[in-house]
Structure 1
């Protein structure tokens, strides 16, 4: 049998054929394998293909043959990811506001290479499940990478920070001045990515939306604020900050109707202490950054929850309610 012009790629193409065209439900016969190799201008005899299928195990590709009638049907029996795992990753990518629409499609196309062409179609259908709002800052991936580099090298970063104006234009904050921050971690909250870092000038921990950073670069200055972050639990920090908005951290006591117990646990975790007050209510004390966003969250739960301490926070709630009445009242 005359050899094709691409014989040296035979094992690679065989792996590609098996991974793309077979799965738990789709098989390929030996004649079909030989025909598929011909599409790449590769010729092979059955005996050599049998040996090559065994050699694929060296690359972690296990091929199983099953006799059906007088023929054997072959398919790949293991892959790096199972379909439910890939669907979970696709859903996470699709629902992430900080990943742009273009990058979402790029990432999902890359995930499709881990499955057969048939299963890839199932992932493609999920891409269009929902038209969620996406960030428009395409540089976020490189920004995140540079932040990780700075953290690993114990260096500060500098960047410009923007907000959107009424003309839908990027408007630099602080007149375009660069922020100089010691990065200590990244937090994913409310479908957005945040940098949590130490501002040496203000001598406090601050957080910034990563998709609103521009022209970020690492600078040759050692990070500061280590002592602050030794005391900081990143997950706890995000839990206390509603929508990652700042505010004075305080112990807030609330009177809550029993049916909202699940809401409290979902928000603050199972470690909170819920003390029964009567048959219909319990009290709970939580540490939060008291901000307008926190007060709005309490208001959204209606008559089922009430801030009962400290007086300062209850007073802030009264002022917020008064502001709303004046804003929407006649």
Structure 2
């Protein structure tokens, strides 16, 4: 049945059809458009649809026509190409700071930027195995608030936490609030950091954004940099952050309990933690074995041990001995 009021929506439903149902590989006939409009209670004649298609072209939609047995129409181009959307989807999946829930929500929105048929190819891009993701659902909004504070030249306050061995939040300073002057956000090694100016010591400090909670943008103007102070975020990040590279290897590692935060940081909140003793725990995971990995282990000294494989253990011992030999074999000048 035709609904009179719906007739005014005809051209909008045609736009919806071209956006959702057509692309370079999928087109639609005039008869299909008439049938689809009827589902919305809208009657249409071929002549009026031809006129509406011309109007949509004038509006800016790149509608093309192809002829076979029938004349068919499709949306030839969009703001984003399919390859670009796949790139965005993969970037979201790779982003450790974006939770699984938020990743799903963002990808569903990206799918709306192409046809339903092409969206299915994006869905096949979604599953990426063994990528650690943040467990802090608020990080998406944390980043937004920090961007706002930086743009408006404001200070922020927040609470900062670590994780216990049972993966529960433990707030630093007994939950007291931190007050900082944010100057930049840095995304390094799949984590977001806010870099803040510490006026008392004329230096910069950084905080993990996913470890921040209850962020408030204050009315107070942030501390200005001293005249002689230069802020180079690229140089700061280069000196402060690090990334692994090397050959993948399955290893089992034993840590003292007080290293649980560092383990969750490096390997993600989904890592299985097994109790070894009252003071230690172990994990089994795939790492990129390299001098960078060994350096990461070495910084924790006696608080970490390689259980297996034996070859990785021997290589680590060799790595340490080479460092020791560099000093024991060197004669004092």
TM above 0.5, yes or no, is yes
In structure 1, the gaps of 5 or more residues are 245-261, 264-292, 303-316
The farther-off stretch of 3-12 and 122-131 is 3-12
2:205 aligned partner:
206
Q: Does 1:116 align with 2:107?
A: no
Q: Does 1:24 align with 2:24?
A: yes
- Where do residues 1-330 of structure 1 align in structure 2 (5 Å cutoff)? 4-69=4-69, 71-227=70-226, 231-243=230-242, 299-300=291-292, 323=301
1:278 aligned partner:
none
**Secondary structure of 1:89's aligned partner:** helix
Q: Distance in 2 between matches of 1:109 and 1:321?
A: 42
1:323/1:102 CA distance change after superposition, 3 Å: closer
Q: Distance in 1 between matches of 2:300 and 2:2?
A: 88
1:157/1:112 CA distance change after superposition, 3 Å: same
1:23/1:325 CA distance change after superposition, 3 Å: closer
Q: Distance in 2 between matches of 1:21 and 1:216?
A: 43
Post-superposition Cα deviations, 1:276-321, rounded to whole Å, max 9, x if no partner, equal xxxxxxxxxxxxxxxxx9xxx983388xxxxxxxxxxxxxx9xx59
Do the aligned partners of 2:202 and 2:229 also contact (CA within 8 Å) in 1?
no
Deviation at 1:210, TM superposition (A): 0.6
Q: Distance in 2 between matches of 1:149 and 1:207?
A: 17
The farther-off stretch of 210-219 and 145-154 is 145-154
Do the aligned partners of 1:100 and 1:135 also contact (CA within 8 Å) in 2?
yes
1:326/1:82 CA distance change after superposition, 3 Å: closer
Deviation at 1:54, TM superposition (A): 1.5
What is the TM-score when the length of structure 2 is the normalising length?
0.72
Q: Distance in 2 between matches of 1:162 and 1:83?
A: 40
What is the TM-score when the length of structure 1 is the normalising length?
0.72
RMSD: 3.1
Do the aligned partners of 2:160 and 2:172 also contact (CA within 8 Å) in 1?
yes
Paired positions, count:
265
